[in-house]
Structure 1
Amino acid sequence: MKPPAVAEKSEAVKPEAQPMAKQDNNVVMAAPDATPVAEAQLSQQQAASEKVAAPGATSTAAAQQTGAASTTQKASIEDSYQSLLKTIDGWKTAWSAQNADNYLSYYATDFTPADGESLDAWKNGRRSALARPSWIKIELGEPQVAIVDSHAIVRFDQHYQANNYEDKVVKELEMVKENGEWKIKKEDSL
């Protein structure tokens, strides 16, 4: 999977949008190849935080302190981001392999089915849907990701193919950290 476009939850992302890095309180978004504009935005935020981070320090010491924190934050953001992408790839692989137990393990314990049915009824329906076709192939487009603390919204084009059915939708996953792992809390086809 190539690096996806990244955006704040409230900001629409156009397919041609460049990956960006941003840190604002507990709102973090990142991409490994952040653009110079994003770096400038981050630098402006770092400059503003110098006054808060080290009120009595010289500007050089404050900049070094802020730079070290920024590097640590970027690494943490990147780890969370890569973990999220790995989870989505594992979910897709389990679905394509028709491995119901593995597929369902990617859903949070408080997952909310879109149609209002109970979680147990939804799981039974998914098990049947996975067993029905003789093969399943899933292709996902480049995801758009917004991460806020331990919550994420991921949106991508999804192409589902099986021997008996095919569709293309825009999928949106609301994901949460559960026991340190990303899980799907809500799933919608837009």
Structure 2
Amino acid sequence: MAGANWIFRTQANQQWRHDTIGVVHSWSIQEMHGIIDSDETPGGCWTLFHSVAVEGFPALREGQQVEFEWNALDNPMNGCNFATIRAWPKGSEPYVAPPSDSPFASHVWLTFPDGTARELTEADLPPAPPRIPADRTTGIVRTWSDEEGWGVVNSDTTPGRAWTHVSNVAGSGFRLLTPGHRVTFEPETMVGGTQDGHHFRALDVRKAE
């Protein structure tokens, strides 16, 4: 059965790195980690998926020859005294992801027992649930968490209160709501479930004049 893995690429630490050539001793496609053997890393070098510098799905194959950068660990990890910083197929150049406007980048992959994988796209995702439109209404901010960026709003048209997120608050910059303040918003009825127990969501929330 296929499984889903969230794949995150991060910039590796540049300190105390060593370069060498090795052979992939083992690799788990389900757990996305493995061990690289080399003369310079006796006992094996522990390797996680985010260290695999290839374009596309970051995985290695058992028996594959690789070039890799590594460092020694102060404390053993899964029986290894060494950890991989970056690894890539022997004879190629390590892949470097192009710069992004976002500080975060993520991918979702379907992995299969034969070691293959396929990246999920928007076409694979279920369609967004239908929205039940409603006229704008006025309410009072009941609660708001600055740390978590969400809260709830009371109004006559949303019995049980309406849940809202900072992304639904109109405006620019750091958008916050204050409990007790009057706001206007577009109520949306949740279809097929609730959000933190609420059957309504407040969209395009604006401070009332």
TM superposition score normalised by structure 2: 0.20
Structure with the higher fraction of residues in strand conformation? 2
Larger radius of gyration: 2
Q: Which has the higher contact order (CA 8 A, sep 6+)?
A: 1
Structure with the higher fraction of residues in helix conformation? 1
TM superposition score normalised by structure 1: 0.21
